[in-house]
Structure 1
């Protein structure tokens, strides 16, 4: 009798253990390198915001899919007028925000009007510059009239900055985000993790996961240890490039090397001497050995670029030869610019591995041509405040992961402080052109202008190094937009 009691007890324990294990497979813990400054994608430029909330908590009229294509989201369909200026969106019905308030055309009007208003704090306000008026036709129909045709409009509406928010909760989305997505905000332990849970009243296809935890792990060694121990089950953008081979050799894990929209640059303050001198900027660009940089900072992962454009784009031009590694030419250009003995400067670096390691390599290369660059490490919030917002810097390294963002060099208030009317005119032409062949021609002209003017030294395209449990399905291979879209993620049975 005692024997059978032991057997039954053991079976019960095994069943409970099995049940607990099965239940755990509805949850997922993802590692992220940077903690977002807040959780409102309509009020901040940090990619870390979208990495948590895009498509999970917040949705727009359209969305960007895994292949970079434009897909319906809150708008189930749309029509475009013959002159390309009027977009009429038909909205999904029976959609609710997470606080129970109904979604309708008034919310779309509120969100778009708010984004392109004069006092808008949207970090990508330029996305909405073409909008003239937003009109509510009926509760499920919105008409958007543009000032001129814009070939990127539907794509722009798929950015995280263009998600639809409600007037009732817009003011508190930074700390308590309320959207219409398949997941709801649960909790945020600052400095540690953000938890989202399944939205049981989601209007669309429900998520397979019950809960997802975004754990902040900026240190590459800690990221490796967390994955190996199973404390983290997925790192969609894994920061420890040197241990990639270790995970590739371990059948417990899947390693996926994809592409991103991340143009990594050595940014220079174009209005601050000596960086206001073209020859100085050219000298710095020629002093950088891109291959050595990619090998040293990225362990060979990354594609060299010579302008601000992704190599996977059909209109890409390989312009790396324009600023090829040539330290002797660098010294010559510095002498012509009046800096034969070089100069001292600063290099402010945000936390990502590519910036910190890349900064050490670039500082050493600049030293070879007489430029002494003092490295100043910054936390992400400091970088956003000092460099991105305050323009208080000499040089910096950062990867711009927004899609179709060539136009940042046409903005008067952008941190590069680059001012070229001819380039701004090219961007205006691109935005007003729908013809694919003509757009390609204009894109290539714009790339050439940047390669010549060197408002930043263009380094490499950031790879997407994904490492996750081999049983996880549905995570993106590539990064067409800065997101960890969990809508189709599940554990294999």
Structure 2
């Protein structure tokens, strides 16, 4: 949908910035005197350098520092924030996200209609859209994409349960009796009917996932999208994943070792915006990202940490808060000896002081979590089984479970920041202190994020614990509990068919009291089983330089850069 003034960022208030900077100061060493912090980070609307002449496109560039290299640029086959951040610029879905409410909004579909009591949806498509390769966007293209996702070969589905199609629709074509997706049928050049095997209340919100971005069918075929024949950064990718073709405001230019560059698409159907070139530069170290911003090498970066928030505020940079929409958790592998005992897992839960874990390690506004669904979704269980911090009780439960000090491998990532975990080494250190004090014998297993950390903790059996989290991408409870606990996964080795059935039923219920009650019951079941311990609902924040007048900050990170306004680029005349 065209960019509008509602896409512009919401500036932070003075009180929030004071709290944010205060949290950063608390995170510094005790011997460091606190420096007074300004009450606002709103920067002047002019650049520190003279504006370039009109027509000089060097100012119409935007360089963004990312915390990790994308795993691939085919959104159907990835699930990481940094990949999605880039693919959002190039591939658009039928449904977008309202920048103010995060509710579903028209994008490549101008409207939709529910049919057959929620078992089918008819979409009216935009008629003025072409893919970056010149191919028309139409009903046939929509069906080509849905059929590609549904019939994806097993050898291509390397992420398995974390692939969005599996998470939303439950199964692929090799298990048709389990899949919620049925078929896609053109009803005309620009009208399409998608049939489901049953009601799926999350269907429309889920279509806003970057994974459901529409790709050119011609490019999918010519670039062998389902054949993982190319190795990049230790991962098998397709040719399409190295040069995707969508309908978005930016087209792919190149992907070097640590940079992905995009260019404005001249044939874009919506508001093109003023930026001609976007570069995503990988800078894993948070301090290095800060230095790059202050030296004007980059225009912004994401995942501001407590350690650098105060300095950013002092330097007049703009810190942009997102509403919390992710959850950090301590995962447990029930295939590891002893972890399958619920008394052992209860001991883990009682051994963790979540308030102490959060203090000084997360931005102000981060709250402890006792369930996996964020409060924003309105289905919080206020009477959930909770595990108060009680290390003595934890020791008693460990004894009762028969634990006698065997080493417990604990995996945690290094040199990365995530929306739910901006400083993993510090969080691990505090968790290690707390668990060791309660009698656990931890064996630290630090792993570089870029070396396949996620794949390791979701598949390697030689682990008892791991640190990970989940960032929501659309507004529905199933995006959290369905993705994490809707079926068996190697990450938790957790088997509870009754819970799996509850989650499968809840997603079919119409919005209302019954659905709210169903998700509250699901949260209680997870709390009793404890496949993982929810730790926090973290606040995440991006930062942009004074050069940036507006940035489309979004709790679900639906941040498309044609909505950015720059101070040193002449605005078009209406």
Matched, 1:26 2:60: yes
The partner residue of 2:96 within 40, 63, 86 is 63
The partner residue of 1:346 within 404, 409, 421 is 409
- Structure 1 residue 16: deviation in Å? 9.4
Contact 1:236-1:475 at 8 Å conserved across structures: no
The partner residue of 1:108 within 142, 145, 158 is 142
- Name the structure 1 match of 2:322: 258
The partner residue of 1:379 within 445, 448, 455 is 448
- Structure 1 residue 255: deviation in Å? 1.4
- Name the structure 2 match of 1:406: 481
Q: Distance in 2 between matches of 1:393 and 1:65?
A: 41
Q: Distance in 1 between matches of 2:343 and 2:98?
A: 41
Aligned residue runs from structure 1 range 282-431, under 5 A: 282-298=346-362, 300=364, 302-317=366-381, 322-339=386-403, 341-350=404-413, 351-352=416-417, 353-380=422-449, 381-390=451-460, 393-403=463-473, 404-407=479-482, 408-413=484-489, 415-431=491-507
- Structure 1 residue 484: deviation in Å? 3.4
- Name the structure 1 match of 2:537: 461
- Name the structure 2 match of 1:486: 561
Which shifted more, 222-231 or 352-361? 352-361
Which shifted more, 296-305 or 274-283? 296-305
Tell me the number of residue pairs that the alignment of Structure 1 and Structure 2 aligns.
473
The runs of 5 or more residues in structure 1 that have no matched partner are: 1-14
- Name the structure 2 match of 1:243: 308
* Residues 148-194 of structure 1: per-residue CA shift (max 9 Å, x gap): 1111100111111211223322313211111110001111122x211
Q: In 2 relative to 1, CA 337–149 (structure 1 residues): closer, same or farther, beyond 3 Å?
A: same
The partner residue of 1:40 within 64, 74, 78 is 74
- Name the structure 1 match of 2:335: 271
Matched, 1:177 2:244: yes
The partner residue of 2:263 within 197, 200, 205 is 197
Q: Distance in 1 between matches of 2:331 and 2:460?
A: 14
- Structure 1 residue 299: deviation in Å? 5.6
- Name the structure 1 match of 2:290: 224
Normalized against structure 1, the TM-score is what? 0.90
* Residues 351-385 of structure 1: per-residue CA shift (max 9 Å, x gap): 33432221111112111122122222222242133
Q: Distance in 1 between matches of 2:397 and 2:150?
A: 43
Runs of 4 or more, structure 1, over 6 Å off, are none
Q: Distance in 2 between matches of 1:243 and 1:437?
A: 43
Q: In 2 relative to 1, CA 97–391 (structure 1 residues): closer, same or farther, beyond 3 Å?
A: farther
Q: In 2 relative to 1, CA 321–488 (structure 1 residues): closer, same or farther, beyond 3 Å?
A: same
Q: In 2 relative to 1, CA 447–101 (structure 1 residues): closer, same or farther, beyond 3 Å?
A: same
Q: Distance in 1 between matches of 2:426 and 2:382?
A: 25
Which shifted more, 16-25 or 93-102? 16-25
Q: In 2 relative to 1, CA 22–333 (structure 1 residues): closer, same or farther, beyond 3 Å?
A: farther
Q: Distance in 1 between matches of 2:132 and 2:457?
A: 35
* Residues 451-476 of structure 1: per-residue CA shift (max 9 Å, x gap): 22111111101211221123424424
Q: Distance in 2 between matches of 1:449 and 1:320?
A: 9
Tell me the secondary structure at the aligned position of residue 380 of structure 2. Answer: coil
Tell me the secondary structure at the aligned position of residue 371 of structure 2. Answer: coil
Contact 1:178-1:185 at 8 Å conserved across structures: yes
* Residues 328-366 of structure 1: per-residue CA shift (max 9 Å, x gap): 111011011001x33311111123343222111111211
Contact 1:342-1:369 at 8 Å conserved across structures: no
* Residues 114-156 of structure 1: per-residue CA shift (max 9 Å, x gap): 2223636271213134211111222211101111111110011
Matched, 1:188 2:255: yes
- Structure 1 residue 208: deviation in Å? 2.4
Q: Distance in 1 between matches of 2:429 and 2:245?
A: 41
Contact 2:132-2:246 at 8 Å conserved across structures: yes
Contact 2:263-2:277 at 8 Å conserved across structures: yes
Normalized against structure 2, the TM-score is what? 0.78
Tell me the secondary structure at the aligned position of residue 407 of structure 2. Answer: strand
Aligned residue runs from structure 1 range 206-225, under 5 A: 206-225=272-291
Which shifted more, 427-436 or 352-361? 352-361
Contact 1:387-1:415 at 8 Å conserved across structures: yes
The runs of 5 or more residues in structure 2 that have no matched partner are: 1-48, 170-178, 226-238, 474-478
Matched, 1:166 2:212: no
Q: Distance in 2 between matches of 1:88 and 1:471?
A: 43
Contact 1:43-1:161 at 8 Å conserved across structures: yes
Matched, 1:149 2:212: no
Matched, 1:93 2:163: no
* Residues 229-285 of structure 1: per-residue CA shift (max 9 Å, x gap): 1111111322x321212222333x111222242110011112322211111111112
Contact 1:307-1:451 at 8 Å conserved across structures: yes
Contact 1:279-1:333 at 8 Å conserved across structures: yes
Which shifted more, 274-283 or 16-25? 16-25
